[in-house]
Amino acid sequence: MPNSNKQAKSPFVFLVTLAVLVIATLVVATSYFLRPSIELELKNKLLNNFASLGFNNTTIHISGRDITLHGAVKNKTEAMQAENTAKEIWGVREVDNQLLIKNHSIE
């Protein structure tokens, strides 16, 4: 009788394993195909917000939900404002602020 119990569990284990593999495949495929649209949406929101603030010399690099800011700003306040603006957008996970502060000499 113990053999019949093992045989009864085999189809169940197979189905559970198959279900887990199907779900894992769907999760990976979904993230692969949705990632470009998420990145594009975040970039468009950032560009619109930065344009309204006058940050025209800023380059935005997006990898998933992580954002890196490059470019030049007038002062530390503008750099922090750009970083905070990026952080406030829903969906952004991390912001790496690589903005450079321009030195303005008084002549």
Coil, helix or strand at residue 31? helix
Q: Between 55 and 87, where is the model more confident?
A: 87
Class of domain 2-101: alpha beta
The model's pTM: 0.63
Q: What is the pLDDT of residues 21-75, one digit of tens each?
A: 999 999 888 777 777 788 888 999 999 998 888 888 888 999 888 999 999 888 9
Strands (E), the chain: 58-63, 66-73, 94-97, 100-101
**pLDDT over threshold 50, residue 79:** yes
Cβ-proximal residues to 76 (8 Å cutoff; 6+ apart), any chain: 101
